[in-house]
Amino acid sequence: MPELKPVLKKTISSPSWKAKLSGFSDKFSAFSRLFKSKHYASADDLFFAIEDLPSMGKEYWFLYFCAPHTDSQVILTLGRSSEPVKVNETELPDENPAQGSVNCAAVCWMHSGRKRVLFDSTAQVRVESGRGKKSILASNGKNRMRVNGKYPHYDVLLESNGKELFKAHIFLSKKDMPYEMIHLLKNPVVPRFGAAMINYYFDFKGHLLGTAIASKRDCAHSRSGANLEPLSGKAYLQKVVAVLPLAPWNWARLQFESGAALDFFKPKPLGEGIDMQFACNDHFEFNGKRIPLRGLKLQQFLDGEKTRFMLTSKDLFISMETYSLQPFVMRQKTVFRYDEYLVKVTDFAFRSEGRLFTLADVGQGRGIVEDASGYLL
């Protein structure tokens, strides 16, 4: 259709299109810097960093604390995108770091006797370093979160209105893998797509604002005078930098009193109804040994806090009941829903190399199940 040619020529040559093309060029240059030439010399270099994100770029921090012998769990998340996005009721503009700080959506919540959403809002995030340690600080005025330290020791503090709500010291486990780094920068998954991820596996000891104080002797006191209950268990810290659309997935991480753990991840890029096979690092970890898991299937029954999950394979059966739920809704031109379920293991049986593991072997189990649906470009 020849009549379209002059229109197309005029549109491309217009100042607005030139500006957009220049912007795309800058974004792709940023992609090249991040996903083709950047190297992280250590795990801390990835975790304690704010990136200059290219188009479709995303980064987030996820800190998860689980005390498997109780119902107490704490989840701290910070995240942002290179394009404007709305997370729950928090609207984030597109921006890149200015003088080491950037705005992120921050959702911090916990369960200790009951669910508390500590904050769900915009937070200014900045990275600092000094005296051989690095820090991530997030604040929005009345709420503040800080992660400070150097591998393999870190301290975490969460406070609101001057009141300490949660504090923990994180350190290496004697048995578990310390961390794993997934590095897809040199050879992206597909052209202009890629990701880098660090997963830390630690123990922690700390204190949490609770509902049932055991005794004054066991309690710490915050600056405001509020009592904090002692808490210990497993800490899982994650930082992800990615140039990828968000697509559906399921993830489960279960911790047991004995120190055993189970990790399951199922990406569903084409939706729930299409079964695709992926080479995932699903495993059961017991006494420092990782046993690969194959052919896992996650089933979900009922809704909300009544949700029940079953994770099964030829040699595994786990049933879980939900006792708390935090939903996330992310909106750009599309909608992405992400739900975090806190679960208690009610039944467990796993057969490996002629041995049968049950709850009598691994102890009480608690954990998290993530259910993500929709797409975020």
The whole-number pLDDT of residue 181 equals 85
The label of the residue with tokens 């769990």 reads 73
Tokens of 334: 């599309």
3-state secondary structure the chain: CCCHHHHHHHHHHCHHHHHHHHHHHHHHHHHHHHHCCCCCCCHHHHHCCCCCCCCCEEEEEEEEEECCCCCCEEEEEEEEECCCEEECCEEECCCCCECCEEEEEEEEEEECCCEEEEEEEEEEEEEEEECCEEEEEEECCCEEEEEEEECCEEEEEEEECCEEEEEEEEEECCCCCCEEEEEECCCCCCCCCEEEEEEEEEEEEEEECCCCCCCHHHCEECCCCCEEEEEEEEEEEEEEEEECCECCEEEEEEEECCCCEEEEEEECCCCCCCCCCCCCCCEEEECCEEEECCCCEEEEECCHHHCEEEEECCCEEEEEEEEEEEEEEEECCCEEEEEEEEEEEEEEEEEECCEEEEHHHHCCEEEEEEEEEECEC
Tokens of 213: 């104080």
The whole-number pLDDT of residue 3 equals 34
The whole-number pLDDT of residue 377 equals 80
What residue ranges of the chain have pLDDT lower than 70?
1-39, 183-192, 211-226, 271-280
The whole-number pLDDT of residue 53 equals 86
Count the neighbouring beta carbons within 10 Å of the beta carbon of residue 151.
16
Burial of 234 (0-12, 13-18, 19+ CB in 10 A): buried
The label of the residue with tokens 């997934």 reads 182
The whole-number pLDDT of residue 55 equals 82
Burial of 338 (0-12, 13-18, 19+ CB in 10 A): buried
Contacts for 161 with CB less than 8 Å, ≥ 6 apart: 142, 224
Tokens of 127: 């990275």
